[in-house]
Structure formats: C-alpha cells, structure tokens
Structure 1
C-alpha cells in the first residue's frame, strides 16, 4: 500500500508536552516497521556550532561536520536493520580517490560519513536524498517517518557568523538546506511530523506559540498545507491521573500534598501545565 506524505505540525504553549507527543508518534512508527528520520532539536543546528567549515560541494554553503557525524551515528543505531536492505540508486564521489558506488548498501554510505567527519554533512544530504527517492517504492520499499522537534529553527535567524562577522542564514547551512527538502510535500511513502518550540527558539517572543508566529511567513508557506495538532494543558482527568502517578511513585512525600487542599494548591501553582507540575513535584 502506498502511503501518501502527510505533514502534521504539533503546536501548543511551552511545557504542554509537544516533545513527548512527538516521541510517542516516533515510537509508534518504529513499532509499525517504519524507518524513522528523527531530528531531536533543530535549533541546535542553527546555534552554538563548534565547527563551521566552507562546503567543498557548494561554495555558498557551510558544513557542520560534528553535528552531521553525531546525527549519522544516531541514525545508524535507530535504523540499523534497514541499512543493509536499502541500495543506493546513484554513485557518490567524495574525493578523487573515494566514492560510493551505485547499488551499495545505504549502511556503507552512513559508515563513510561517520568515519570521514569532513564529508559527513554531504553524506547526510546523500542519505536524505536516497530516502526521499525510495520511500514507498514497490520493490523493497519502506515507509518513512520524518520527525523534527523545533522545526521553526529551520527558518528565521542563526547565531552563527562568517569570517567577516556577518550572520549565516539558515539556508546557507548544508544540513538545514537538505532537511528543508524533507519537509517539502513533494514526495510520497511516509509522513512528516514536526513540533513548534519556543524552547531554544532564537529571537522569537516568549509568548509566541502559534504556527504563524514561530514559523514566520517563509516557514509557514514552505510547510503549508499541514495538519495542525494542538497540544493543550492537562484536563481534569489527565491532571488527576498524573497526580495519582506521582503519589504512587512517592514523588509527593509532604503530608499536605496528599490532601485535597494540597492537590488544589498544585493545580493553582501549575495551572495544569505538565512541565510546571513536574518541576513542582520533582525531588530537590
């Protein structure tokens, strides 16, 4: 069965559980036999980069070899059982002496990117290209789940600087350039699941949480059309369930916290925000 590409965008106020909702979706896809392409935090690709090098493939772009090699290592661990089955559809040349031939396993390409850190950014681009081309195919096909936490980090501004101290635009980063192609709704055989995040977001108002506010006009137009999935604060039943769980796990040990008045106080202090409630009940 061919699965069309659907884009779901998870939004909600800070601390409502967007990342955990994404993790649940990723876990479900993995259990159903999908290949998972997971970006745990897109904001880390546009700030605090330890090593930024001019791209050997495209003169106007910049490579991030450390981030790329770390991502390839995690991708290999998550999808190890797929890497020997997926075969490359084209030949990739890295240097005058090094190349990866057509028909070789995808795992060989990933291993090359992990061991040859300098080429890791271009290897990520090649891996994403192969996945985009082969997802949902009839011969040895697979379903692909692209999961990006903090997808709004792919648009806007970065903290990275060029040698002349001018800012680096997101589209000038090799990793961001290639990941944006996976967000486009021009391939089939899977789904794109993304969250919008204020945490780690650069130059965005702290009160912003709606797609238009966090993505900006360019990002919103790039992702449109998508299915918005709002993540709300705890309902009364959800709060009660979490409260009873904390009691069972002995997180709430003060006698007052185990009374009805204590529970009402936790509701007032947390406003049923999952993250705030967790911090209030956490150990010191």
Structure 2
C-alpha cells in the first residue's frame, strides 16, 4: 500500500510540474510576442509622428504590406546564404570566373621545371615523346561524336573536377598507339626489341587510367579511318535484361544486350558499314525475342544477295528474334574485313571471366549461377585466339575480383600491366591542378605534391582527392 501511494503522489507531482512548465512557457511566449508588437508599433509611431510618445497608433494596411515585403526579402536572402546548394553554386561561379581571367595570363601555363603545361598538337596521331607529361585539350562535342557509345566514368570525373576538358599525355598511351600503327603500317627497318602485339589485355591497379587509355586508342583509330567495335561497359553484357537458353547451341541468349550493341556499333560506323559487303551467306538462326517468345514456323533467316554489313545490323536491330544471331554473325564478318583495319576494343573485359547475374533453376529451391562464357554474345567475342586486332581493359572498380594470370582463350603474353603515374607525371598533374585552382597557390609546394604522390602511390583519383588538402 505504501509503495502504491508513493507512486500516485510522484505521478501527481510530475504532472503538476509539467503543467506548470507548459503554462510558464506559454506565458513567456505571449510576453515575447507582445513586447515585439509594442516595439514595432512604437517604431511606427516615431516614424509617422516624429515624436517619442510611445503610444500605439493604428497600423495601415500599406505599412503591413511593406513590412511583409521587407521580411520576405530578408528571408529570401537568408535562404540564399544558408542553402548549401546555393552556396556551392555561387562558389562554383566564382571559380569559373577566376579561371576565365586566368586564361588571359599565359604565364600560368607553366608546369614542373618550367615545362609547358599544355601541348598544342592538333591530333592524337601527331603526339610525340616531347608532348608527354603535358595536357592535351579536347572539345567535348568532338569527343562525344567520336565516342558515341559513351565516355569512361574516369574521364568524366576528371573533366568535372578540373573544370576543363583536358587529359594528360602519357608515354604508355603513345607506346600502345605506336604498336597499333606498326601493325597496319610496318616500319621499313625492323626495330629490335619492338614487339608488335595484336592482342592486348590492359591490367593494373584500380584508377590507373586503363579505361581512358582504351577510349583514346579508339578515338585515334577512328580518326585514322579504322572500323572499331567498341564496348565501353562489358559488364552490361552479363547483367540485366532477358536471357533464354538456346536449345540449338546450349548457350544463353541475351537479345536486349545484342540489340544495344548493334545500335552502338552503328552510331559511328554507319557510312563504312554501307560499303562493306557480307561474305557469309549461311542462314542466321533465330532465337527468342525479348519478352515475345519464339517466332512461329521460322527458325532462321537468310540475308539477300548483295547485302552489306549495314543491312545485316539493321536486321538485328529491327528483329528481336535475330539480334543475337546477327551479332554472332557480325563477329565472324569482322574477321573477314581486309579493306580497312578493324579493332575490337572491350572495356571491363574481366567481367567476361567470372559469373554473370543470371541464374538457371536447378530444383524447386535452388539455382545455378551462369558463367559469362555460357552467354552467346560473350562466347562469340571473348576469345583472343585469332589473328584480329583486339584490346581488352580490366576494370577493378566493377568488383570482379582478382583473376588468375593465365586466362582461358587469351594468349599468355597478351596481359600487360598498365602503370600508375610516375614522379614526372605526378609533377605535371599537380601543377595542372594548381593551374585549375584545386589547391591554393600559397599552399602549393614541391614537398607538398610529392607527399600527395607517395601517399596515393600514383593513383590518379586519389591524387585528385588529396591535392586540395595541401597545406
């Protein structure tokens, strides 16, 4: 009884104190607003009568409207200054204005040890060793026109962070470009130690510039008149969309990816494809269409005599049942093209050596992961055991995992370790970021950028992130 009585008393006391607190806060609230209204009314009377009588005068609607407008304007100013998005936008506009002023001062375009920060060589084909460790400016419209399949994410991040469409000229890129050039136009004298490779796999640490280098090689090859089959995101071939098991081949067809790849190939190469005749006359097998099943009564189609590669690709784009069969046929046709050089460039190539997103039901309660090699499209394009020119680039940002050194269907000597920045390249990069105001000039020093280089181990993305913290 005593405990229950104590509980009742304590609860009553707590309720009483809570009610008292609430009433007190309400009284304070009312007093605050009454004082504020008196202050406004006294100010209004002073302005109107010029005296200090302190008597409240009647407020006119016009004065209320004016005060409302002033309050609204002050609130708007407060929102502009306190909104983080607006502050970021204003800061970005100020930096862009400063960079526009910097363009007039050519003395700022100086890199490490007084070297020029930018090269004015007009094209990738004319770059030489003298242009290394300098930046080449690009027109974003020309880049999008030359690479309509899409720009690498690393390239877009670099453009956004530096606020300029320029890329570092690296000796590793020039070596790959010269290798491709020697395949088509062999030198008159054999260069000792200069091995020509037709099949290359670019491997190396994450954010080492492999995807950007591959896209620049595609850009260069297309400027030279090559026919290039470019896949900027090989992982998409193993993820998403419909997938069906073809009973004729035992492989899995992905008609959505096939149609997308054919459309991408057509974007830049349409004029060339219209001039290249089809050389294989065998019927093209049909498969299941994307979400529409099998075609009734027809299991294959035959291209008319005199068809070109353009006609072949159009058939795959317009007919979902033929999309996978057409892209497999296209791979065979590309090996037979001899009039112009052909390059097959695959980014995220390591995604084709592991399991896909797709699963095959085994029992009522279990499924089996489908390997990428079991996909019809990957099976047609993955192998490098041929005489065609093909470059694949690993992308470790796709979380594929570490693969063994000897990959199936890939020559042993094809795998090449693509390096990160060396000291000279890191110096050029740091001075470029100083030029683009990623770091304050008074905080920049040789000791500072070398610390950034050694902390990041030459990782381009990490250097770009660390440079603004230089003190």
TM-score normalised by L of structure 2: 0.50
Q: CA deviation at 1:131?
A: 0.7
Indicate if the aligned counterparts of 1:9 and 1:226 stay in contact, CA closer than 8 A: no
The residue aligned with 2:243 is 52
Are 1:184 and 2:375 counterparts?
no
The 1:71–1:251 alpha-carbon spacing in structure 2 relative to 1, beyond 3 Å, is farther
Structure number with larger C-alpha Rg: 2
Query: What secondary structure is seen at the aligned counterpart in 1 of 2:356?
Result: coil
Are 1:226 and 2:428 counterparts?
no
Q: CA deviation at 1:146?
A: 1.2
Indicate if the aligned counterparts of 1:155 and 1:216 stay in contact, CA closer than 8 A: no
From 253, 269, 272, the equivalent of 1:82 is 272
Query: What secondary structure is seen at the aligned counterpart in 2 of 1:194?
Result: strand
Indicate if the aligned counterparts of 1:6 and 1:226 stay in contact, CA closer than 8 A: no
Distance 1:84 1:150 in 2: 29
From 247, 261, 272, the equivalent of 1:71 is 261
Q: What is the correspondence of 1:54-203 to structure 2 with a 5 Å cutoff?
A: 54-55=245-246, 58-89=248-279, 90-93=281-284, 94=286, 96=298, 99-132=302-335, 134-136=336-338, 141-164=339-362, 165-181=367-383, 183-185=384-386, 187=387, 190-202=388-400
The 1:197–1:237 alpha-carbon spacing in structure 2 relative to 1, beyond 3 Å, is same
Deviations 1:141-194 (A, max 9, x none): 22111112232222232231013321212222111111134x222x3xx41112
Distance 2:235 2:340 in 1: 28
Deviations 1:13-66 (A, max 9, x none): 1111111121222222212211111122323322x323212337x351111122
Moved more, 150-159 or 259-268: 259-268
CA RMSD of aligned residues (A): 2.7
Indicate if the aligned counterparts of 2:449 and 2:467 stay in contact, CA closer than 8 A: no
Distance 1:277 1:92 in 2: 54
Deviations 1:121-151 (A, max 9, x none): 221111111111x232xxxx22111112232
Q: What is the correspondence of 1:1-16 to structure 2 with a 5 Å cutoff?
A: 3=184, 6-16=198-208
Give 5+ residue unaligned stretches, structure 1.
209-213
The count of corresponding residues between Structure 1 and Structure 2 is 259
TM-score normalised by L of structure 1: 0.80
Give 5+ residue unaligned stretches, structure 2.
1-181, 185-195, 287-294
Indicate if the aligned counterparts of 2:352 and 2:378 stay in contact, CA closer than 8 A: yes
Structure with the larger helix share: 2
